[in-house]
Chains A and B, each alone.
Chain A
């Protein structure tokens, strides 16, 4: 499908991302998903945090809100409560969302507020030059973990689910069609939705960890991913080292902004 130019600020291109970065693929998947879902341009808002992937907001032709580090979901919560009719996509990086923004992430999930969190996970802080994040796998190297990090990584979607999110999906930059479909489904889901988009950072992560260039990283991503439906038929040994992708969970629960506005109407009589 051709990318809709209307949804891009083509004058702001070229983007700031490095060669081989997956942010462009994820951003394109988001734009296609918005188009496929049939949203009116004026009802869509893109909110983002701070980091490489969060710069996507500047290239998208909607009302765009580039916030402070880690706080994108908190800004988005205020906006959604003020204007529940708007559809919000919140783009965050792995560090932005799960480290400095971890508190807002679990509380957005707990409230089950209708926001669509797109977490671009490249396992590293890219903009600051390659520091480890809470999503860097144990043993992987970073400038702040030169011998490999001893810390354990979050499973972001398990975290979201445990905190109360009602939709969680994982896709990757190597399979953009699927990613687009996952984002579309997240957008259509009423409640807090999380799409974890695995994305290569050959410059700050791949190079230091000898994962090869962009092509090798994308290939590795594709090979290690297993669809949830197929995983159900596989045994534990086969699943060793694999990453599940697809919709990991989707369930219904009361959504906060609509519940709140229903209460207001009742209070006003």
Chain B
């Protein structure tokens, strides 16, 4: 991919521009700090390129409108923060069940409730996973830079289209509001998943054999879309074997494309004594510590950063647990993803949480102090 044109951008802006680059032409949203810039940029840009921006009456309606527009064949995005993300959950579950693509951005702020609207936090990790009811699959990306925000948003749109599955972009206030350099590729150089215009004659909206493309409404394929458990034509069913098969189907598509979905990155010593597992803005502090400790001081440390937090990168954690003695999990919450890390480390390494929940970032000093303690 040719990367030209370095641009100084805000994280929220990178999210909006990434979405537009990936073909998003519909945005519905409701104002909420610290995500509002996404809506403002979409309101300015979309009409210029033939897209639709609509400010809805509430967060619930925004999620609903996005799903409605996706069924009409548009690529869609909505952005919010914790309180709004809570309100979107029911319709998010609908999109998962009905297999309607869409991308939902949650620029996390300090909760619970109204919390500290302008302070960063990583408190919505479990809400992103389990916020809507029932056993549903979900994809959640957690970028650690403005650059990653741009490219992960594109990946989110692509995956969402390909798998007919909602994807969550879990930003935080730091990433959403910081400004950094992003390399914007030249026109035509981006990998954007193309929708298929070849509809097989035996097309079924929820084919038992596996994924089929979404055929938008209005093209003569008269199918039914519902949040009820449904058969391969979309019609409601409560028949136990059908219900089980339908739920398995939702999970199977994520398992099948696991390697495209789960994105992680490791830097540092090949056999670290102390490793850090981080995501989102916390990666930034961890990276600066590991850069110095490993590249400068040659200490046996490493950092596994998770761009994808759900589905959880279980294999990567299992592999890391075989190498590392100690795994530090810094999070700006009271300990959410650390439980999942422990589950897959399974006693093979010591898992040490590092939590901060006062609305401030975890500093490199906090991390290096903890590393020093475990190295000595």
Contacts and interface: CB of A to CB of B under 8 A. Distances in A.
A79 B226 contact: no
Secondary structure of the B contact surface, majority rule: mixed
B225 interface: yes
B217 A75 contact: no
Interface stretch (A55-63, A127-135, A179-187): A55-63
B46 to A, nearest CB: 8
A45 interface: yes
B65 A78 contact: yes
A68 to B, nearest CB: 5
Interface residues of A, number: 37
Nearest to A110: B57
Given A57-B224, A78-B28, A71 B217 contact: no
Contacts, number: 128
Contact of B69 (A47, A62, A81, A263): A81
Contacts of B224: 57-58, 64, 66
Interface stretch (A82-90, A141-149, A215-223, A229-237): A82-90
B101 to A, nearest CB: 13
Contact of A71 (B64, B74, B76): B64
B226 A82 contact: no
Contact of A61 (B91, B216, B217, B222): B222
Interface stretch (B48-56, B145-153, B194-202, B300-308): B48-56
B69 A78 contact: yes
Contacts of A79: 68-69, 71-72, 217
Contacts of A86: 72, 217-218
Interface in B71-93: 71-74, 76, 90-91
Contacts of B235: 12, 58
B153 to A, nearest CB: 20
B220 interface: yes
A208 interface: no
Interface residues of B, number: 44
Secondary structure of the A contact surface, majority rule: helix
B58 A82 contact: no
A93 to B, nearest CB: 16
Contacts of B47: 263-264, 267-268
Contacts of B218: 42-43, 45, 63, 83, 85-86
Interface string A228-269: 000000000000000000000000000000001001100110
Nearest to B225: A65
A78 B78 CA distance: 12
B48 A82 contact: no
Nearest to A81: B52
B206 to A, nearest CB: 14
Nearest to A257: B52
Contact of A264 (B50, B65, B74, B219): B50
B320 interface: no
A85 B226 CA distance: 23
A198 to B, nearest CB: 27
24 contacts: A12-B235, A43-B218, A45-B218, A47-B68, A58-B236, A63-B218, A68-B94, A74-B56, A74-B61, A75-B67, A77-B56, A78-B26, A78-B65, A78-B67, A78-B68, A78-B70, A79-B69, A79-B72, A82-B26, A83-B72, A104-B64, A107-B56, A264-B51, A264-B52
Given A66-B226, A67-B94, A77-B54, 10 more contacts: A42-B220, A65-B217, A66-B224, A66-B225, A66-B228, A71-B64, A78-B26, A81-B65, A86-B217, A267-B47
Interface of B: 26, 28, 47-52, 54, 56-58, 60-61, 64-74, 76, 90-91, 94, 216-228, 235-236
Interface of A: 12, 41-43, 45, 47, 57-58, 61-68, 71, 74-83, 85-86, 103-104, 107, 260, 263-264, 267-268
